[in-house]
Chain A
Amino acid sequence: MTYYADHEHKVIDHPAEHTDSTAMILGVWLLLVIGAILNIGISFAGLGDKAIYIHMMISLVQLCLVAYYWMHLQRSDALTWLTALSAFFFMIILFALPLSDYLTRYRGGL
């Protein structure tokens, strides 16, 4: 007998059914390590000011991998997605407004 509201009758749950596959965990780790090695390798390629764009692209891909697979956005509900995307949305505002001033004040751009 239960004394709490258990409308779905989930008194017995099965945490083992929610496990991530070992292949996914290791696969993401491998991609992240490859990204890190690529990032460091590019700094030796002598690309100058252009290198930062490639560095940030690699870091963004790494962030997406971590958030989607390791932080389980893959199987999260709409509210969690909304929270994660709202952080991203406010980051865009945070960067866009001041940079629209500074990047136009100092010609030459990033």
Chain B
Amino acid sequence: MSASAGALKHHFEDIEQQRGAERLGMWMFLATEILFFGGIFLAYTIYRNMYSKDFADISGRLNVLVAGINTLLLLTSSLTMMFAIRAAQLGNRRQLMNCLLASAVMGAGFMGFKAYEYTQDYYEGLVPWASNFGKEKVHDPESKSHEEKTLNEQWEAKGVSANRIRLFMTFYFVMTAIHGLHLIIGIGCILVLWARAYLGWITPDRYVAVEVTSLYWHLVDAIWLFLMPLLYLAGPHHSLHF
């Protein structure tokens, strides 16, 4: 489908130059985001190198099944963003709206699972600033016995430091919360795009709005692809369960 370049602003020579500038602007923002997350990843790497045994022990307790489902949700939401760009370029408004909505819903699903995980962490005594930290009686995934001991007792028996566990869980909450915040902002941007598509404002010549938003969404997705193994897979797992 061809379209008149009505989206062209007067200070650009042609529509392709304008699109290039819009993409470049987003890439520059993403470069700052990469460095922002880089600092946190660096701090995590240093402490993980120092306390690898303690980090591996507590990482084995995190819910890898939920993390896996969340990874699938994010990857699929990026897939629907790709189809949204395609629909915008082809002028298929119905498909564009459906794909945008699917991405937003999957992003919200991710946050829902995250909320479930945070709640589960609280009940297991894994929230580092909560009064029940390390005091809850839970099953040890490495033990074959069904006897439940408090986390503090389990860590003491294994020679794992509670303070280092607290440090790992602080990293876990800070990193996943900052990522979650980015995801919420992304959902907001996608919903704005959906409203614009609903009003008929995203015509084929304005498809780059969807593409630029997808760049941000893909970066948030890519950051999760590193967060997931660093936090959830830092130690050995023995079973998948909710």
Contacts and interface: CB of A to CB of B under 8 A. Distances in A.
Contact of A36 (B4, B35, B225): B225
Contacts of A36: 68, 71-72, 75, 225, 228
Interface string A87-105: 1101100110011001100
Interface in A1-33: 3-8, 10-16, 18-20, 22, 25-26, 29, 32-33
B42 A33 contact: no
A33 B221 CA distance: 12
A58 B71 CA distance: 14
The binding surface of chain B is classed by DSSP as helix
Interface of B: 1-5, 8-10, 12-16, 20, 23-24, 27-28, 30-31, 34-35, 38-39, 42, 45-46, 49-50, 52, 56, 64, 67-68, 71-72, 75-76, 78-79, 82-83, 85-86, 88-91, 204-205, 207, 211, 214-215, 218-219, 221-222, 225-226, 228-230, 232-238
Interface residues on A, range: 35 or more
Contact of B79 (A29, A59, A72, A79): A29
B23 A44 contact: no
B34 A91 contact: yes
B8 A99 contact: no
Given A4-B10, A10-B15, A70-B78, 18 more contacts: A8-B14, A10-B16, A12-B5, A13-B15, A16-B90, A36-B72, A39-B229, A40-B64, A46-B236, A51-B236, A58-B229, A72-B215, A80-B24, A86-B31, A90-B35, A94-B38, A94-B39, A102-B50
Given A10-B16, A49-B52, A15 B233 contact: no
B2 A40 contact: no
Interface of A: 3-8, 10-16, 18-20, 22, 25-26, 29, 32-33, 35-37, 39-40, 42-44, 46, 48-49, 51-52, 55-56, 58-59, 62-63, 66-67, 70-72, 76-77, 79-80, 83-84, 86-88, 90-91, 94-95, 98-99, 102-103, 106, 108-110
A8 B19 CA distance: 14
A100 B82 CA distance: 40
Of residues B8, B83, B91, which shows the largest number of chain A Cβ atoms within 10 Å of its Cβ?
Answer: B8
B233 to A, nearest CB: 4
Contacts of B67: 40
B78 A39 contact: no
B14 A109 contact: no
A25 B82 contact: yes
A99 B46 contact: yes
A15 B205 contact: yes
A94 B39 CA distance: 7
Given A3-B10, A6-B14, A70-B218, A83 B28 contact: yes
A17 to B, nearest CB: 8
A109 B236 contact: no
Contacts of B222: 62-63, 66-67
Contacts of B214: 70-71
B13 to A, nearest CB: 5
Contacts of A59: 225-226, 229
A110 B34 CA distance: 22
